[in-house]
Amino acid sequence: MKIVFFGTPQFAVPTLEKLLNHPEFEVLAVVTQPDKRRERGNKLTPTPVKAIITAHNLPVWQPERVKKDTETLTKLKQLNADVFVVVAYGQILSSKILNMPKLACINVHGSILPKYRGAAPIQWCLYNGERETGITTMLMDAGMDTGAMLQIATTPIGLLDTAQDLAERLAVIGGDLLLETLLKLERQEIQPIPQDNLAATYAPLIQKQDYVLDWSKSAIQLHNQIRGFHPNCTASFRNNLLKITASAPLDSVSDRDLPPELQELIHKLPDLSNWSDRPGVVVSIAKGIGVIVQTGEGLLLLREVQLAGKRPQSGWDFVNGSRLTVGEVFGAGS
């Protein structure tokens, strides 16, 4: 089966690697986003997909807008591919492109469709506190993740899983599912299933305001925001910007999903539900672990933070380095 691969971030890499190493598939070319300049040194940095493909002596095309780039469109047409595989490419494909391959354009999407259509399914499913997610392979059409579904693989979500953790796991699942989907498609063993549009939810691009922590929210809401938009959620401390990169809600409901040391911490706070102070106040310091902050409902443990211009550090190192004391206040980020 002759394939053209469209993909850009690290999430797409495991799928591409599996295609490159499988004897029944031939990757003819790769389409990825243009290289970007990074802040430090202003050097052009290749996309993760481009970085791994250089050793394979394959054409790599990086049009600014693929559906408007006549040269790339001509090359794609000339390849006469069986399938286009799309994994987090980052551009919308036109109907003209979708109609080029002999069999289909197949997308590997990071959710259980029709939930979380759109650009950031992994982040928003964590933000919403989902306990399960997965990968859907689907036939692409002109809509935003609206095509008929081919196969689905699921995975549970742990309470402390971050978007990075989940993306790494789903990327591997997606690669395996895509291979299975292609083989079954070739053998005509798959019956596409239309999506239920009435059950659809959306996962839009993340905006800067989505990173701002509001301590009047509940501990579980803040925790889900922190892990969903990891590592970018912001608070303020002593008038300085502070990223909160890892947390844990301290309540009996979450107890069963926490590691033993955090379960023990909750058990050492038997009057947890009676604690009351204004949101954002440091109500306790867990020795060797981190900072405990009052929220609008419940307590939140700050397990890891990052000061502006610094590397992430444990909550306990932050306590020692800043000489933090009970009664200090965290504010909203910006």
Alpha helices in 189-267 (DSSP H): 219-228, 252-255, 260-267
| Residues ≥6 apart with Cβ < 8 Å to 58 | 27, 28, 29, 30
38 or 319: whose pLDDT is higher?
319
Using a 10 angstrom Cβ sphere, with 0-12 exposed, 13-18 middle and 19 or more buried, the burial of residue 252 is exposed
Rounded distance between C-alpha atoms, residue 46 and residue 35, angstroms: 5
Of 11-20, 35-44, 69-78, 118-127, minimum mean pLDDT range:
35-44
Question: Is 90 exceeded by the pLDDT of residue 247?
Answer: yes
Band of pLDDT at residue 269, cut at 50, 70 and 90: confident
Distance set, CA 59 to CA 69, 76, 331 (Å) = 16, 11, 50
Beta bridge partners of 252: none
What is the pLDDT, as a whole number, of residue 130? 96
pTM of the model: 0.93
Rounded distance between C-alpha atoms, residue 175 and residue 151, angstroms: 12
Question: Is 60 exceeded by the pLDDT of residue 272?
Answer: no
pLDDT digits (tens, 9 = 90+) for 51-85: 999 888 899 999 999 999 999 999 999 999 999 99
What is the average pLDDT across 206-225? Answer: 96
Band of pLDDT at residue 259, cut at 50, 70 and 90: confident
Band of pLDDT at residue 132, cut at 50, 70 and 90: very high
Alpha helices in the chain (DSSP H): 13-20, 48-53, 70-79, 95-98, 121-127, 163-186, 219-228, 252-255, 260-267, 315-322
Of 60-69, 226-235, 277-286, minimum mean pLDDT range:
277-286
Q: Which residue has tokens 């004897």?
A: 23
What is the pLDDT, as a whole number, of residue 41? 65
What is the average pLDDT across 275-303? Answer: 91
